[in-house]
Chain A
Amino acid sequence: MPTTTSKLPELFEKREQEITDHWIEQQQLTGRKLAASEREQTSRQSREFVRSLRSALQRSSGDVSGPEWAGVRDFLVDLSSRRAKDGYTPRETASFVFSLKQPLFAALKNEFGADSKVLADEVWLATRLLDELGLLTTEAFQKSREEVIMRQQKELLELSTPVVRLWENILALPLIGTLDSARTQIVMQNLLEAIVQTRSDYAIIDITGVPIVDTLVAQHLLKTVAAARLMGADCLISGIRPQIAQTIIHLGVDLSEVTTKATLADAFEVALRRSGHKVVRQDAAPTSAASR
Chain B
Amino acid sequence: MSSNEILREFLLETHENLALLDADLLTLEQHPTEKHTLAQVFRTLHSVKGTAGFMGLVKLQAVAHASESLLSRLRGGELQFSPSIATALLQVVDAIGEILAQIEASGDEGDGDYAPLTAELERLRDTGDHGTTSSLPPISEFPTASSVAQTPVPAEPDSTTNFSSPLPPIAVAAPVVPPAPRPPASSPVAPVAAPPSTVELTPEAVVETHSPSLADTSIRVDVNLLDNLMTLMGELVLARNQILQYSLLHEDGDFLSTVQKLNLLTTQLQASVMKTRMQPIGNVLGKFPRIVRDLALACGKQVHFEMEGQETELDKTLLEAIRDPLTHLVRNAVDHGIEPPDVRLARGKSAAGRLRVLASHEGGKVIVEISDDGGGIDVARVRDKAVQANLVTPEAASRMSRQELLQLIFLPGFSTAEQVTQFSGRGVGMDVVRTRIEKIGGTIDLESHAGQGTILRAKIPLTLAIIPALIIVSDGDRYAIPQVSLLELVWLQSDPAKPAIEWLHGVPVYRLRGTLLPLVFLNELLQLEASTSAEQDVIIVVLQADERPFGLVVDGIRDTEEIVVKPLQKQLKGIPVFAGAAIMGDGRVALVLEVLNLAQRANVFSGTKSRALPQQQRSPHASTAESESLLLFALDAGGQMAIPLSQVARLEEFPRTQLENLGRRQVVQYRGELLPLIDVSRAIDRLQIDPPQRGDRSKRMGATVPVIVYTHATDPVGLMVGKLLNIVPEPSSARSQTNRPGVLFTAVVQEKVTEIIDVPALLASSNHS
Task: Report if A and B associate in a common complex.
Answer: no
Which residues in B have some Cβ–Cβ distance to A below 8 Å?
A: none
